[in-house]
Structure 1
Amino acid sequence: MSNRKPYVREVKATWWKSHPFYRFYMLREATVLPLILFTLFLTLGLAALVKGADAWQTWLNFMAHPIVIAINLVALAGSLFHAHTFFKMFPQVMPIRFKGKTVDTKVLVLGQWAAVAFISLVVLIIV
């Protein structure tokens, strides 16, 4: 048995602040926080819908509060930011080839945004 101690490098809690790439990564990952609240609000809405008209009206009043609206707007912005970074990264991670040539990055990204717009339009028409 060896008496040597392994080298353990000290890692501070703010290690990610020293490099712009890691700051951007942490910002992107932090977009999940308002989305958690948005999901919780919707779950509470479903529970209120099951409980009856009074609970539903209480939930609607809660959703009309300016702080809740602000949280939902931040969640929307975070979701769009997350989608933007994902769509931008997609062609690098999974390049698409068509007839032996790699499809242009801009075409893939615009195609993904077009799909998001189309699906959103369909949902708006249905609802």
Structure 2
Amino acid sequence: MSNRKPYVREMKRTWWKSHPFYRFYMIREATVLPLILFTLFLTVGLGCLVKGPEAWQSWLNFMANPLVIAINIVALIASLFHAHTFFGMMPQVVPMRLKGKLIDKKIIVLSQWVAVAVISVFVLIIV
């Protein structure tokens, strides 16, 4: 057996704060937290819908709470931020070609936002 001690580098909990790339990455990944709450709220709402009109009305009253509305607004902003960063990475991750030529990155990103807008309008019309 060897008497040597292995090198263990100290890792602080705030290691990611020292570099802008890691800060941005951590903020982007933190956008999931308000989305988790939003998803839980909707799941509880589905359960209340199944239970009957009284439970549904109590859920509607809960959703009208200003704190819940604020959480939903933060979740919407976080979702749009996450989509923006994801759409911006897409041309680099999956370069698309048309007739052998690379499609401009701006066109790919814009087409994704157009798809989001079309789907959103479609859902709004249905509901």
Task: State the TM-score bracket (shorter-chain normalisation).
Answer: over 0.9
The corresponding residue for 1:103 is: 103
Instruction: Structure 2: give runs of 5+ residues left out of the alignment.
Output: none
Map of 1:68 onto structure 2? 68
User: What residue identity is the alignment partner of 2:42?
Assistant: L
Gaps of 5+ in 1: none
Deviation at 1:2, TM superposition (A): 2.0
Q: Give, in angstroms, the shift of residue 4 of structure 1.
A: 1.5
Cα shift at 1:6: 1.4
The 5 A counterparts of 1:31-110 are: 31-110=31-110
RMSD: 0.6
Give the whole-Å Cα distance in 1 for the aligned partners of 2:46 and 2:103. 43
Moved over 4 A (4+): none
The more displaced of 2-11 and 56-65 is 2-11
SS of residue matched to 1:35: helix
- Secondary structure of 2:10's partner? coil
Distance 1:11 1:21 in 2: 18
TM normalised by structure 1 equals 0.98
1:17 pairs with 2:17? yes
Using structure 2 for the length normalisation, give the TM-score: 0.98
Aligned length: 127
Letter of the structure 2 residue corresponding to residue 7 of structure 1: Y
Quote how far apart the aligned CAs of 1:3 are. Answer: 2.0
Tell me the distance in 1 between the aligned counterparts of 2:110 and 2:68: 32
Cα drift, residue 8 of structure 1: 1.0
Q: What SS is found at the alignment partner of 1:6?
A: coil
Answer yes or no: is 1:2 the counterpart of 2:2. yes
